Amino acid sequence: MKRELHAEWTKLRTVTSTAWLLAAGVALTVAVSAAAAATVSCPSAGCTYDVPKVGLIGVQAGQAIVAILAVLTVTGEYATGMIRTTLAALPRRPAVLAAKATILAGLTLAAGTVAVLGSLLVARLILPGNGFTPAHGQPPLSLADGPTLRAAAGSVLYLALIALLGLGVATIVRDSATAIGVVFGLLYILGILPFMISDPDWQRFLWQISPTNAGLAIQATTHLSGYPLSPWAGLGVLAGWSAAALLTGGLLFRLRDA
């Protein structure tokens, strides 16, 4: 396994797009969070914003870049034929996929931590200027606050799980265009289905099974009873999706010719 990890790390590290994508993911996350923080306002006491959620809204955009990175880790090899070299050198296929997943998850956790901390820091600096002051019942964002810490740590985990989902899908379809289409469909289209329907039972059901809606429940710090799932259960739904995609991908990877 050590050889596989070393090989995957070398491959991912030496492709220029990896660094670019990670930097772009961090920048996009922080920028969108900052834009959201700059546009909310709390003119008087009693505004109902879920402040950590607003400060972390950029994760919804940053996850797109994370998903692309994950997809390219696999489909890039198929596009160039590199996959055959990889498998000739390292014939234990499950170990290859596990190494890919480990390296990718590690990179995403690192970049995700930077992105999430950056978003919260920017929101902490911008929000008081828009009326989110202690006088209006809005203490500054702080990781010392339990729910905020859970939202922040959970968002980092969320990004890592999105990467694993992308990796799984890419291993299944093996083509970057199709894989990106499928991943974006899972993330965004499945995410808006609950809003396209007015039947409340269907709405709850679709919300509970969609990886983004359920997964992002981890960012909720207020009105928790209004959500169909608790924060950690929501993240569990996303973990289920990622596990299913990786397992299916791993099985097909073993069975098919490269």
Give the range of 6-14, 39-47, 94-102, 143-151 binding another protein by CB under 8 A.
Answer: 39-47
Q: Is 244 in the site for another protein (CB under 8 A)?
A: no
Give CA–CA dist 212/157, Å, rounded: 13
Among 29, 60, 138, 242, binds another protein (CB under 8 A): 60
Q: Is 234 in the site for another protein (CB under 8 A)?
A: no
As a three-state string, the secondary structure of the chain is: CHHHHHHHHHHHHHCHHHHHHHHHHHHHHHHHHHHHHHHCCCCCCCCCCCHHHHHCCCHHHHHHHHHHHHHHHHHHHHHHCHHHHHHHHCCCHHHHHHHHHHHHHHHHHHHHHHHHHHHHHHHHHHHHHHCCCHHHCCCCCCCCCHHHHHHHHHHHHHHHHHHHHHHHHHHHHCCHHHHHHHHHHHHHHHHHHHHHCCCHHHHHHHHHHCHHHHHHHHHCCCCHHHCCCCHHHHHHHHHHHHHHHHHHHHHHHHHCCC
Residue owning tokens 């694993």: 164
Residue 176 DSSP class:
H
Q: Is 236 in the site for another protein (CB under 8 A)?
A: no
Q: Is 189 in the site for another protein (CB under 8 A)?
A: yes
Among 74, 103, 152, 220, binds another protein (CB under 8 A): 220
Q: Is 23 in the site for another protein (CB under 8 A)?
A: no
Minimum separation from the CB atom of position 177 to another protein (A): 4
Q: Is 227 in the site for another protein (CB under 8 A)?
A: yes
Instruction: Considering only residues 62 through 101, tell me which ones interact with another protein, judged by CB under 8 A.
Output: 64-65, 68, 71-72, 75, 79
Among 26, 30, 34, 54, binds another protein (CB under 8 A): 54
Q: Is 43 in the site for another protein (CB under 8 A)?
A: no
Minimum separation from the CB atom of position 83 to another protein (A): 15
Among 43, 91, 146, 226, binds another protein (CB under 8 A): 226
Q: Which residues bind another protein (CB under 8 A)?
A: 35-36, 39-41, 48-50, 53-54, 57, 60-61, 64-65, 68, 71-72, 75, 79, 176-178, 180-181, 184-185, 188-189, 191-199, 202, 207, 213, 220, 223, 226-227
